[in-house]
A and B are shown apart, each in its own frame.
Chain A
Amino acid sequence: DSGVTQTPKHLITATGQRVTLRCSPRSGDLSVYWYQQSLDQGLQFLIQYYNGEERAKGNILERFSAQQFPDLHSELNLSSLELGDSALYFCASSVALAGELFFGEGSRLTVL
């Protein structure tokens, strides 16, 4: 158990819908990262927050947004969902801006 908690574990929804994925980082970790892992691709970096502020952005679609709240938990919002958005979405956290990342178990999103 890495100490990073993600909910929900599984989510099935329809195209055009909107979902919110939630992540609680390890106690004491200020940095939260979101990654997407599709079947035919590796882990793709989406976005990073540090102590409530956006720190780095990857190839995150405009339909996706995220935020980190004062209690350091983070949410990833995915809207106007398409079939291609089906993937495993991982949250990871780290103590500072760099170093080892600890991953949650992931949220598996299926868009039908």
Chain B
Amino acid sequence: EDKVVQSPLSLVVHEGDTVTLNCSYEVTNFRSLLWYKQEKKAPTFLFMLTSSGIEKKSGRLSSILDKKELFSILNITATQTGDSAVYLCAVAGTSGSRLTFGEGTQLTVNP
């Protein structure tokens, strides 16, 4: 059974701090790893990673995948209060098209 473990489960920082969120996984025939941000309601897509060692960036957010060690990190630099959310990591294997999600990291950014 596919499994995703995220750490830490919660994190409280001050505006301007840099944070690193971790995601480790076990999946049959890995195909992709995805990061989502969930505020009040629907998760919104951030990144999809398929290749090891290639960093994806979007503004202050970046993510990288290590397929050998089976983990990914999501970095957020110069955090803002609007970054407060639950960040979800999910994996997809070629044995099925569904995504298996981790429990998420609750990030709180205080002014």
Interface residues of A (CB under 8 A from B): 2, 4, 31, 33, 35, 41-45, 48, 50, 55-56, 58, 90, 94, 97-106
A48 to B63, CA, bound (A): 28
What total of A-B pairs shows CB separation below 8 Å? 56
Interface residues of B (CB under 8 A from A): 31-32, 34, 36, 41-45, 48, 88, 90, 92, 96-104
- Known interface pairs A31-B97, A33-B98. Does A90 touch B32 (Cβ–Cβ under 8 Å)? no
A sample of 7 more A-B contacts (CB under 8 A), given A98-B92, A103-B42, is A4-B42, A42-B104, A43-B43, A43-B90, A99-B32, A103-B36, A106-B42
Chain B nearest CB from A89 CB (Å) reads 12
Q: Please, which residues of chain A bring their CB within 8 A of the CB of B88?
A: 42-43
Q: Please, which residues of chain B bring their CB within 8 A of the CB of A106?
A: 41-42
**Are the CB atoms of B96 and A104 closer together than 8 Å?**
no
**Are the CB atoms of A105 and B41 closer together than 8 Å?**
yes
Query: Closest A-chain residue to B89, C-beta based?
Result: A42
